[in-house]
Amino acid sequence: MSPIPGNPDTATTLTPLSVAKLREILTEYCTRSTTLAVTLLTIDIALFIAGNALVGLTHALGWQLLGMLVITVAIVRLFIVGHDACHMSLTDHPELNKWMGRLSFLPSLTPFALWRVGHNVVHHGFNNLKGRDFVWQPLDPEEFEKLSKPRQWLERVYRSPLGPLPYYFIEIWWNKMYFPNKAYAPGDRPEYFWDSVIVTVFAAGWIGWLVHTAEPTAGAITLAVVLGFLIPFLVWNWTIGFVIYIHHTHPDTIWYSDKSSWMKAQGIIHGTVRYDVKPIWNLLLHNIMEHGAHHLDARIPLYRLKAAQAKLANLVPNMPVVELSFKTYWRTVRECKLFDFKNQRWVGFPNHNAKSHA
């Protein structure tokens, strides 16, 4: 991946076409198909039901493990469908989008209205802009030093290879999505509360079904809940945390503390990492890795993202492309700990042990 210049004056040369012009050119990919959207939703719901049937009805460990895998894949796929519905890009019918989104978000226990505010308005409006985009926003070294020791430890956990799970679960889902308190809630609109109630009722029904269908022993019931609900939900948290992390965090990506610099650098485009992935991942993940086109124009539905991304690559030939691999992820986790906003570069956590021995 070629470095993205941190100097806002030079960053403007990255894309000779403006964001508005690029969106205008890609408008042809914003056409939507309700039939295709409903078909995708139906397939993914069927996957979720089939996975739960394998866990709850077979009572054989091998089939239950397969069911656990199917449930996990279905949760991710359903969330991506809901994500498009939340952007109103899944179909041409706003009310249908809302209800398809709420339905799709149930297995990931995501309250629709709260996700819409945090994702559509905050993240998409200001990705990689400090103080506005809170998702995986890095601390600068001075901010980190002012944290309490327990909080510093937690930040180190978040920026570790397994960090996406606790980060998303605590910082996004628990704090901002699930019955958020006044410190995190974007307001007190009734739909924020009731969407949290809806996912809670769904979770209770989901767990209740697994308990009801399991063999009537404590061990069998526990196993059914762990394989059918707990592990898929935890893996889902790691997956969504991981995907958001790699889309906007890389040794060569820039975060900005100044809005004017962010706008000059076209951060909405160049703050997003484009990954080269094998076709199977686009199939499994509904093209979510074609993230540059999506961030440029969220009106493009998931089933047109691949074509739109190919067009965008021709329009912006210097857009960096990264091969998605364990090596790439390891490098990102190793190097992207804190961000020096003054010099616009990633730095590591301070080595306090080394200081104490000096």
Give residue 1's pLDDT. 43
Place of tokens 């610099």: 261
Place of tokens 């990633």: 346
Out of 134-143, 194-203, 272-281, least confident range: 272-281
Residue 350 has pLDDT above 70, yes or no: yes
Q: Does the pTM of the predicted model rise above 0.85?
A: yes
3-class SS letters over 41-90:
HHHHHHHHHHHHHHHHHCCCHHHHHHHHHHHHHHHHHHHHHHHHHHCCCC
Residue-wise pLDDT for 289-346, tens only, equals 887 788 788 889 999 988 888 888 888 776 667 778 889 899 999 999 999 988 889 9
Residue-wise pLDDT for 181-227, tens only, equals 888 888 888 999 999 999 999 999 999 999 999 999 999 999 999 99
How many CB atoms sit inside 10 A of residue 300's CB? 28
Distance between CA atoms of 246 and 94, rounded to whole angstroms? 30
Instruction: List C-alpha distances in Å: 248 to 118, 126, 134, 255, 275.
Output: 16, 12, 12, 9, 11
Interior angle at CA 269, CA 268 and CA 274, nearest 5: 130
Place of tokens 């991304």: 309
Q: What is the mean pLDDT of the segment spanning 35-45?
A: 96
Distance between CA atoms of 305 and 286, rounded to whole angstroms? 9
Residue 270 has pLDDT above 90, yes or no: no
Q: What is the mean pLDDT of the segment spanning 153-168?
A: 96
Distance between CA atoms of 79 and 244, rounded to whole angstroms? 13
Distance between CA atoms of 240 and 227, rounded to whole angstroms? 19
Distance between CA atoms of 270 and 262, rounded to whole angstroms? 10
Domain boundaries, the chain: 8-349
Give residue 358's pLDDT. 35
> Kind of pairing, strands 338-340 and 321-323?
unpaired
Provide φ and ψ at 233, rounded to 5°.
-70, -40
Distance between CA atoms of 120 and 86, rounded to whole angstroms? 8
Distance between CA atoms of 202 and 257, rounded to whole angstroms? 40
Give residue 49's pLDDT. 97
Please state the separation of Cα 192 from the chain's center in Å. Answer: 20
At residue 347, the 3 state secondary structure works out as strand
Q: What is the chain's percent helix, strand, coil content, to nearest 5? A: 65, 5, 30
CB 313 within 8 A of CB 291: no
At residue 160, the 3 state secondary structure works out as coil
How many residues belong to the chain? Answer: 358
Strands (E), 263-336: 274-276, 321-323
Residue 5 has pLDDT above 60, yes or no: no
With cut-offs at 50, 70 and 90, classify the pLDDT of residue 7: very low
Two tokens, residue 53: 């049937």
Residue-wise pLDDT for 89-131, tens only, equals 999 999 999 999 999 999 999 999 999 888 877 777 778 888 8
HSE-up of 250 (CA within 13 Å, CB side)? 25
Give residue 125's pLDDT. 72
Percent of the chain residues past pLDDT 90, beyond the cut: 57
Q: What is the mean pLDDT of the segment spanning 228-244?
A: 95
Q: Give just the sign of the alpha carbon dihedral 137, 138, 140, 146.
A: positive
